[in-house]
Structure 1
Amino acid sequence: MATVDSDEIVPFPEAPTGGSPNTSADQIPLDQPPKLKGRHKLLQSLQRISSSPSLTRRGRSRSSSGVYRRDGKASLSCVSLSQSSHTPLCLGSGSTTQLYGGLNVRPTTPGPVGSYATDDQEGNARIRFVSDASIGPHSRKIALPTDLKPVSRGSPLATGALEDNVVAQSAQRKTFDFWGSIPNELGMLIFSYLTPKEVIRCSAVCKWWNKMCYDGQLWSVVDTTDYYRDIPSDALMKIMMSGGPFIKDLNLRGCIQLRDKWLHESEKITDSCRNVVNFSLEGSRIDKTAIHCFLLRNQRLQYINVSGLHSVTNAAMKIIAKSCPRLQILNVSWCANVDTSGLKKVVKACPKLTDLLASEIHGFDDKGLLSELFKRNTLERLVISRTDITDDSLKVLLHGVNPEMDLLENRPIVPPRRLKHLDLHQCSGLSDTGVGSLAHNVPLLEGLRLSGCSELTDDSIVPIIQTAPHLTHIELEELERLTNKTLIELAKSPCASVLEHLNVSYCESLSDPGMLLVMKSCLALRFVEMDNTRISDLTLSEASFRVRRRGYDDNLPQVGLRLVVFDCPNVTWVGVKDVLSGNSYIPRLRKAPQAVSMATQTINSSGTSVSTPIVTSSITPPPPPAVYANNIIQLKCFYGWQMTVDEHTKRVLRGDLAAASRLERKWFDYMMATEEAGMAGAGARRRRRRAREAERIYNDDDQEETSYGFGGILGGRRRAHSGGSCVIM
């Protein structure tokens, strides 16, 4: 029996025609292969492996197209590179051949060309015999099975496989929880951009949002100014409890719904909120015990506003003096149960106190508190309006007790006060003697309010204005003894260039000579109230001119000066019209060039001159950009004109100057018609009747009677008579 080398892969022998079926395989002539080199030498030892799990699982049928040829290439996906320990007799006789790896014996009777033995005949046979005719004489490749062949991207097989792969990956992919995976700090930063109302609404979305919305870091500032009327007491309590030690600014102004909570749960609130710095209870209702407990447990308080609370007494001032050494601002205005004896303890114990607001507090006629304020000299803002302060008490506040006097200038030698804002309005006990002591002692003063002090005159106001170069706000309302001298000195004073707010209403002695100088010199004015004074249209015209001098640009105008001139008998609609015209006025920066035509004269042979055109241009340039005034005047005048003035101001502010000019022109025509027709005053009905009778006489054939007045001026049409001349002329 002939032996076959182990590196040979032999085609299946064809059955001879008419031959015996028992013809042995050794009768087939085999060519001796040449000596191989390189990769062919490597492929010489390749053999079929018996473990192909993918094919075994799929249970696919064997293909007759794939072959292993000695001189051909084979796919490495179905071969083994392992070297066998002995040479398998895979091409020997069917009865005696032994196969490596436990392969069954080849049946003695060959089947048809290119066929395979069944599993019953071969068992787990791993060798595939291929005929020469099936692979062709020159073929060097063996085809892969159909399910293992690569397919094109757009084919149905590729699409189906891709979809199956995507579904499998999506099933394995985990769901990404954005809010659950981000750090708490980042979540806090996101929620910090929301308003308190929006945060409360977001708390109902999910548990995680609810936890974030009621985190204490988000409620370090609890200001109920915008929603104190809408939020219930339970929700507000939940915010305060969740904020707890994080709350630094607690503004409960107007929260009367917390009255029962302060009464029954005050200890719970104070135990939670222990780090408050700014605290406001103005307009609230709180128990005396609750506020005492809160003040005792918050020693970092710097701002306290308890104005208008009857539960605040001198005992609360004593607690503030003991437990709040960092206090800077205290507002106890309109606290009926607090007097200067309690405030004196606070001033002694709080060296950083800068603002004291104590309107309608009794006891300022006592010099004890004012003497302590003079010694401290830390106050920058003092509001003691509607109090019983006297001239002697005010002198103690500014000069101290028994100061050293300067004999040359006859004024005390004391350090200047640090006061920047002083409010003494409606203090009936003050006169020129006490108020005059402010001169030369308040060089840093920026705001002065002396309204309602009817005893004051020019003698005390003028020295203060001359020695306070930083004054920006002056309130001198209802000073009937004030004259134009104060306004003239104000226009000459060092503070004229920085003055922004001036109120001289109900100063009936003030008129145009003083106000005209103020309008010319005080160019930074933003608000002037001149109600019930003797000013006239000249002041309004000057104010409009000075505001226009502030410049023009392409931005929309803004309100730069507010004037209050109602109940001024000398102000007429003509002055109001000047203000409206100034608001909508646009300077003519450049003129648009018009069509230019030039001609020359020539003399012909007959001696006559003939003009010959040379240049003719009709080019129209583009319109210039829109220009608006930087500032306009917002006017408050007689109530009958106020609606027109407000509408005109709205149109100017939105940049519609054409509409504003039309409104101004129509209002001017209406006012002119009203004056001519006598729409106001005695005898108006008689004048209108006479006008109608005259109209009927001169227009007998006119069927539609046109009343003489507003309609006639705005375009009432008179029919022409046929023939003859005008009867009137």
Structure 2
Amino acid sequence: MTSILPDEVVESPGMTTPISITDGDNQSGTPPKRKGHQRLLNGLQRMASSPSLLRSSRQRSSSLGSRRQGKGSMSCVSLGSTSYAQCFGNPSSPQIYESLSARNNTTAFNSQTAQDENNTPVRVVKADAAVAVNSSSQITVPLPADMRPTSRGSTLPRPLEVDEIISEMQINIKDAAKSWKPQFEFWMNMPEEIKMSILQYLSPKDLFICSRVSKAWNKMCFDGQLWARLDASTYYTDIPSEALVKVMTAAGPFLRELNLRGCTQLESAWQTDGERISNTCRNLTSICIRDSRIDRTTLHLLLRKNPKLVHIDLSGLMIVSNSALRIISQNCPNLELLDVSWCRVVDAKGLRRVVASCPQLKDLRVNELSGFDNQQLLLQIFKANSLERLILSHCSSLTDASLKILMQGIDPEYDVLTDRALVPPRKLKHLDLSRCRALTDAGLRNLAHHLPDLEGLQLSQCPNIGDGALLDVLRTTPRLTHLDLEELDKLTNHFLLELSKAPCAATLQHLNLSYCERLGDMGLLQLLKSCPNLRSLDLDNTKASDLTIMELCTQARKRGFGNSFPRPGFRVAVFDCGNVTWAGVREVLSSNTYVPRLGALTTPAPLKTPTHSKQSLSSLSSSSTSTPDSTTSSSGSDTPVTSDASSPPPLSPSETILYPKEIIDLKCFYGWQMMVNEHTKRVLRGNLTAAMRLERKWADYMMMNEEAGTGGAGARRRRRRAREVERMYNEEDEGDESAYGPAGLAPLGGRRRRARSGGCTVM
């Protein structure tokens, strides 16, 4: 049957677009098979009723009378914001019938066409599902949500113009800007003073790294306010010479303290930029250029351009001569510290100018210099009487007469009753006369009664000094805290006994008695009892034995206990002491983990400790007080069990437990030192249980080694040592103190000596 389409389609007043229903060629009289997606695409291309389609560059169908052969379809739909359910949900919707009636009234159809049209069913499209029209597989595809109409009577929204869209976007942006808080540039809006204060907390290496961020940061990081103190002694190997020169020239007048110790990379920079650096840095108060390979011209320029210098360190520079000291005396009247140690060209003439022109000089360090037999220099130092620290180490020219002039001057008046020189007391607080081998007891006695404020005295490797002269000095120095007497072979136990009675025994903190080979337990025990503030004791290569170690442990326990973790408070060196055995070392380990019973403490208020903590403390104290004699092999029935299972359970940090306030930091035989170090680490961490377990296991190991050596070479070695001990005790009874002492391994002249320690490490 041929489909007859109307020539004219009149839109109904309630409809936006007409609905065209067409029939394809169908000879059988049954409705043709329709495909929903093809019908939808044909309708959209013809009508283009959506604003989105207007922007898709599709041409709208110009003629409603265009004829399409094929399947019948609904050629136009009304696009709205709601679903199809309002319009096509009911087959008897009035919109459909009104549009069809209006179309039938205005269009002339023949009877056959009207009959076919009435027979053609109207397919109802639902909102979200495809509905089959016939039993034949007719499938519909729903429109998107933004293209579904509300009703047939609604009008399509007018598409927005470009200007309207832009204006609407501008309004939205303004509304968003009003509701949005303005962003604050924290660093950019910060005052420069606060920026500098923040950057001052950075280390020099961090400042160099931050300078690479940007130009602004580079300018800030090299601002002179951040470089008032430049100390390159800790990172001189990591910084190039260009960076150092840039910092010194950028800091300029802000630079106050300059430490270039060891900066050998500046050797060429001093020659090229030395004048520019000296002209820029004019406000230095402290300068240290030892081992920096500076040239003579730049050094003299720096000294001339900085009249405010207070500290000058030129030690080890071969270019320093009397001319440099003359410049210092002329341009640096406020000088307080001068270090020209190992500057071999300097002599007494240059030093005398500095001492005479710098009345505020307090610290003079002239190690290994000549000229101290010059009476004019010594008399100038005596008249000035401003020095508080005088370092004369390795000065071979210093004699007894020189020391007398330093203390008393030339031809002083004497008191008739006391035979003492009537001179003002010296202000010296630290005096270093180590390795001045020309000094004797006669010269050292001149120090007595003239140094009431002395706190540190170094007399190491002065072989001609004995007990009498040294005791005269110590009895008149009540504030002495540091005493270095290394390698004074003439000192005996009588000196230690008298030292324990001296006024300085209460203030003594650091004592070095290394290689004083005549000192033993008799003097050391009394000294330890009289020096409660002793913190460092060097006893290597002496006759100290386990008795001295036990007294050390007793004194360490008297320093109290607390709830905080212990700290190393007593440093003791007993290596190369033949009389110190592993039993004495174990006594130190046991003392470091000693925890007293709570009832034994005399505290004003008892500590609140849980019940299980008290039990653990009791077990800790019982374990820590065990000695090597009470611990035997595990096969014995009367010995306590030493396995790990018997150790007390560790306490949590929240529980209260007592720790020793200070422990002994022991330096002993190198074969035992690794174990001692590990034990000390565990104690400092507060893990006393693990420390005691290590102590027991090490004691078992040492005892097994001794038991394994009951015969053979071990037995012969022990018998030989016993004979040597007996012989040495007999020699001591006869008054011969040249022997080594109890449990010695060899006579005095034939045993091995360790390397020189080089002086007290503390001072």
Q: TM-score range by the shorter chain?
A: 0.5 to 0.7
Corresponding position of 2:527: 518
Aligned to 2:405: 396
Asked whether the 8 Å contact 2:222–2:250 carries over to 1, the reply is yes
Partner of 1:29: none
Mapped to 2, the partners of 1:193 and 1:569 lie a distance apart of 51
Aligned length: 504
Q: 2:552 aligns with which of 543, 560, 567?
A: 543
- Label 1:385 to 1:170 Cα distance change in 2 as closer, same or farther (>3 A): same
Q: C-alpha displacement at 1:405, in angstroms? A: 1.2
Residue aligning to 1:633: 664
Equivalent residue, structure 2, for 1:579: 588
Q: Deviations over 1:412-438 (max 9, x none)?
A: 111110000000000011000111110
Mapping for residues 114-193 of structure 1, pairs under 5 Å:
164-169=173-178, 176-193=184-201
Q: Residues 510-565 of structure 1, C-alpha deviation per residue, up to 9 Å, x if partnerless? A: 00111111111101011000110001101110011111111111100000100000
Instruction: List alignment gaps of at least 5 residues for structure 2.
Output: 1-167, 601-610, 616-651, 719-763
Question: Out of 423, 428, 436, which is 2:437 matched to?
Answer: 428
The Cα shift of 1:451 comes to 0.3
CA separation of 1:460 and 1:379: change in aligned 2, threshold 3 A:
same
**Paired residues of 2:210 and 2:217 also in contact (CA < 8 A):** yes
| Matches of 1:681 and 1:468, distance apart in 2 | 56
Shift of 1:177: 3.5
Residue 368 (str. 1) matches residue 376 (str. 2): yes
- The equivalent position to 1:438 in structure 2, one of 447, 460, 474, is 447
Q: CA deviation at 1:407?
A: 2.0
Number of the residue aligned with 1:216: 224
- How far 1:180 moved relative to its partner? 2.8
Q: How does 1:69-108 map to 2 (within 5 A)?
A: none
Structure 1 residue 408: Cα displacement = 1.6
Amino acid at match of 1:338: V
Q: Which residue of 2 aligns with 1:19?
A: none
- In the alignment, structure 1 residue 198 sits paired with structure 2 residue 206: yes
CA distance in 2, matches of 1:684, 1:162: 105
**Which residue in 2 is equivalent to 1:589?**
598
| Aligned counterparts of 2:438 and 2:322: Cα–Cα separation in 1 | 25
Q: Does 1:406 align with 2:415?
A: yes
2:317 matched residue in structure 1? 309
Say if 2:475 is the partner of 1:466: yes
SS in 2 for 1:369: helix
Partner of residue 495, structure 1: 504
TM-score normalised per structure 2: 0.64
- 1:666 alignment counterpart: 697
Instruction: Report the identity percentage.
Output: 51
Question: Which secondary structure state, in structure 1, belongs to the residue aligned with residue 468 of structure 2?
Answer: helix
Q: Does 2:266 match 1:258?
A: yes
**Are 1:278 and 2:309 an aligned pair?**
no
The alpha-carbon deviation at position 319 of structure 1 amounts to: 0.4
**Bigger relative CO (Cα 8 Å, ≥ 6 apart):** 2
Matched, 1:563 2:572: yes
Q: Which residue of 1 aligns with 2:156?
A: none
| Aligned residue identity for 2:670 | Y
* 1:162 CA displacement: 9.6
| CA–CA distance in structure 1, aligned partners of residues 175 and 344 of structure 2 | 78
**Conserved? CA contact 2:325–2:351, under 8 Å:** yes
Q: Which amino acid in 2 is paired with 1:541? A: M
Structure 1 partner of 2:673: 642
1:347 alignment partner, one of 355, 380, 384: 355
Secondary structure in structure 1 of the residue aligned to 2:571: strand
CA distance in structure 1 between the aligned counterparts of 2:232 and 2:282, rounded to whole angstroms: 19
Q: Find the residue that maps to 1:180 and give its secondary structure.
A: coil
Q: 2:303 aligns with which of 282, 287, 295?
A: 295
Cα distance 1:162–1:564, how it changes in 2: closer, same or farther (>3 A)?
Answer: farther
Change (3 A) 1:535 1:229: same
Q: Is contact 2:233-2:263 (8 Å) kept?
A: no
Which residue number in structure 2 is paired with residue 508 of structure 1? 517
- C-alpha deviations, 1:648-701, integer Å up to 9, x for none? 0010000000000000000111111111111897268999xxxxxxxxxxxxxx
Alpha carbons 2:593, 2:688 under 8 Å: kept = yes
Moved more, 263-272 or 173-182: 173-182
Residue of structure 2 in register with 1:134 after alignment: none
Q: How does 1:27-106 map to 2 (within 5 A)?
A: none
Equivalence for 1:6: none
SS of match in other structure, 1:279: strand
Paired residue secondary structure (1:356): strand
How far did residue 625 of structure 1 move?
1.5
User: After alignment, is 399-408 or 660-669 more displaced?
Assistant: 399-408
Match of 1:530 among 518, 530, 539: 539
1:274–1:574 Cα change, 3 Å: same
Amino acid at match of 1:234: E
C-alpha distance in 2 between matches for 1:686 and 1:589: 46
Deviation at 1:345, TM superposition (A): 0.5
Matched residue type, 2:298? A
Structure 1 residues 681, 580: closer, same or farther in 2, change over 3 A?
A: farther
RMSD: 2.6
Q: Which amino acid aligns with 1:546?
A: Q
Confirm whether residue 242 of structure 1 aligns to residue 250 of structure 2.
yes
Secondary structure of 2:275 counterpart: helix
Cα distance change on mapping 1:431 and 1:204 into 2, 3 Å = same
Task: Note the C-alpha offset of 1:365.
Answer: 1.5
Gap regions ≥5 residues in structure 1: 1-158, 596-621, 688-729
**Counterpart Cα distance in 2 of 1:216 and 1:448:** 42
Distance 1:527 1:166, change over 3 A: farther
